[in-house]
Amino acid sequence: MTTTTLAPTPAPRRHWLRLPHWRFAGRHPNGALALGLGLLGLIVLLTIVVPMLSPHSATDIAGTPLSPPSLAHPFGTDTVGRDVFVRTWLGGRNDLLMVILVVLASSTIGTLVGVVAAMGSPLTDSVLMRLTDAIISFPGMIIVMAIALVFSDMGEVGPFPRGALPAVIAIVVINWASYTRLVRGEALSMRSRDFVTAATLLGYSKSRIVTRHLLPNLATTVVAYMVVDAIVAVVTIAGMPFIGAGIQPPAPEWGSLMLAGTTVLYTAWWVTVMPGLVVTVYGIALSLIADSLLAQVDGGAR
Amino acid sequence: MSDLLLEVTDAEFRYAKGAPPAAHHITLAVRAGDSLGIVGESGSGKTTIGRGLVGSLHPSAGAVLVQGRPWKSIRRRDPVRRVVQMVFQDPYASLNPMLSAVGTVAEVVRVWDGLAARPAVARAEEILAEVGLTGEVITRRPAGLSGGQRQRVGIARALACGPQVLVADEPTSALDVSVQANVLNLLLDLRESRGLALVLISHDLSVVDYLTERAMVMYRGEVVESGPTGSLLSDPQHPYTRELIDSIPGRSALPPAA
């Protein structure tokens, strides 16, 4: 008998061009997640710290109108001489508070309705899903404008400046439906999986099946969608001043800051571009987080 | 009290009203300690019968009785529900991906025996040890377990509510050949140690031969032959049974007597 010896497999050689940071951000999902969380953390930190430490308030006339970026005013000044740097980060704080409220309320309502539709009787499912379809098919901006107008008298509430809560209510009213669609679909496909059948055969109550078996398995998908939704929500919030809704001046907000700069875009680009850059970085950060979470959802499915 | 645990009388199963029956004219009885094999090709209706036996599919005609009671009359927390439990074909899909092995089994103990968290975990550890899982491995979620380990967790979960009948639907078909024998031997040991009745659903006659004393052969939704497994294999009467036997490597049925 002859014995064959296998040669050891040589270790793959690292290419000199494969720099660590490439692998960190681009190839490893946890690296992208860390980068995304880092950028988001930085934005959140600046929205807290800058308005507290800055010598100027958001409404002070801090310098000559339309001064370009300088050491004293890193993002320049706006048409009345207010510091765009302070206004951008205070505006970011307002926007982020609204985004958090929009995403939490929408996901809670949407998940609840989606699970009830998936686990309820065919009649319950039918009624809830037709309601969801009606919300999704109705032009969202019209509902947003209508609700924002109805609640336009609502003043400042807690940390929310005037106009913020009506905007949040308006967005939540149209936004929960997309979570319902997502959760119902996922819950229906999960309901037919063997582990849910096993739970049913074992006599578990519906509430136990939902809370212990369905919701924990839906969580990653819902959280990934919440992150994507946080990007859409900030764009919607920033778009509201363009239709006369949302946070009312003089309180700053990313959308109103950019809108204020459009009239002087060619002469004082910084008034629009600087808050726009921050919104872009915010969007990139959340995209990186969402991609990493979605990769985990796909990985789990495999 | 009669030792008749499961009784199926001229049952017919359909997946939707008006759809053709997936299995019909099914009659069988399972007594304490019995072992019954249901064998047939894919689509022959054997899994449908398995679903009917555990009450997840109600018969459109005839009856399926558990200790003399139809499944429809058995409520969620009725103690009769404990009598019949199921082991699934796909050990990964049958376990909650978010629960550890010990968590999966402890949950059953908590629900059925009303134990607090700590005693339930202790009891779950005992049951998992009975199926050969001990140590750190029981704290892992399904993704961290091998196929054989997952199937053992599935068996432990079924055992946790103290069943008298175990319906195993192709319990080894998703496992590596090397692991299949371990799981089959485990089922054999549990039958003996717990006095369990076993209904084994399989397309593999040699597995049915190894584990069961009686068998029925399904073909296109009907039982074409049934009897003691040994005589079914040595003296098949139906051409389809002979085909099944011929498909076992190294074994073929004798030609029918002239």
Say whether B223 sits in a helix, a strand or coil. Answer: strand
- The residue that leads in pLDDT, B17 or A284, is A284
Across the interface, whether the CB atoms of B86 and A201 are under 8 A apart is answered yes
For chain B, say whether A122 makes contact (Cβ under 8 Å).
no
What CATH topology corresponds to A33-54+73-301? MetI-like fold (1.10.3720)
- The residue that leads in pLDDT, B248 or B100, is B100
Q: What is the pLDDT of residue A286?
A: 92
Q: What is the pLDDT of residue B179?
A: 85
Read off the amino acid at residue A6. L
pLDDT digits 0-9 by tens, B173-204: 878 887 888 889 999 999 999 999 999 999 88
Here the tokens at position A252 are 């700053």
For chain A, say whether B87 makes contact (Cβ under 8 Å).
no
* A164 close to A171: Cβ distance less than 8 angstroms: no
Residue range B45-61: mean pLDDT, rounded = 92
Listed residue (A140, A139, A143, A159) closest to A93, CA to CA? A159
Say whether A184 sits in a helix, a strand or coil. Answer: helix
A261 phi and psi, to 5 degrees?
Answer: -85, -10
Question: What parts of chain A have a pLDDT lower than 70?
Answer: 1-29, 297-302
Spell out the residues 6+ positions from residue A68 whose beta carbon is closer than 8 angstroms to its own. A76, A268, A270
For chain B, say whether A202 makes contact (Cβ under 8 Å).
yes
Is the sign of the CA dihedral A108, A112, A117, A118 positive or negative? positive
- Residue B61 confidence (pLDDT) above 60: yes
Give residue B250's pLDDT band: very low, low, confident or very high (50, 70, 90). Answer: low
Task: Spell out which residues of chain A touch residue B112, defining contact as CB-CB under 8 Å.
Answer: 202-203
Here the tokens at position B161 are 């509510």
Listed residue (A108, A109, A115) closest to A211, CA to CA? A115
For chain A, say whether B80 makes contact (Cβ under 8 Å).
no
Residue range B26-54: mean pLDDT, rounded = 92
Give residue B120's pLDDT band: very low, low, confident or very high (50, 70, 90). Answer: very high
Specify the CATH superfamily of domain B4-90+164-246.
Answer: P-loop containing nucleotide triphosphate hydrolases (3.40.50.300)
Spell out the residues 6+ positions from residue B33 whose beta carbon is closer than 8 angstroms to its own. B191, B195, B196, B197
Q: What is the pLDDT of residue A3?
A: 53
pLDDT digits 0-9 by tens, B207-228: 898 899 999 999 989 999 999 9
Chain A residue with minimum CA distance to B75? A203
Spell out the residues 6+ positions from residue B68 whose beta carbon is closer than 8 angstroms to its own. B2, B4, B7
Q: Is A246 exposed, middle or buried (0-12, 13-18, 19+ CB in 10 A)?
A: buried
* A117 close to A125: Cβ distance less than 8 angstroms: yes
Compute and round to an integer the Cα radius of gyration of chain B: 19
pLDDT digits 0-9 by tens, B163-174: 999 999 998 887
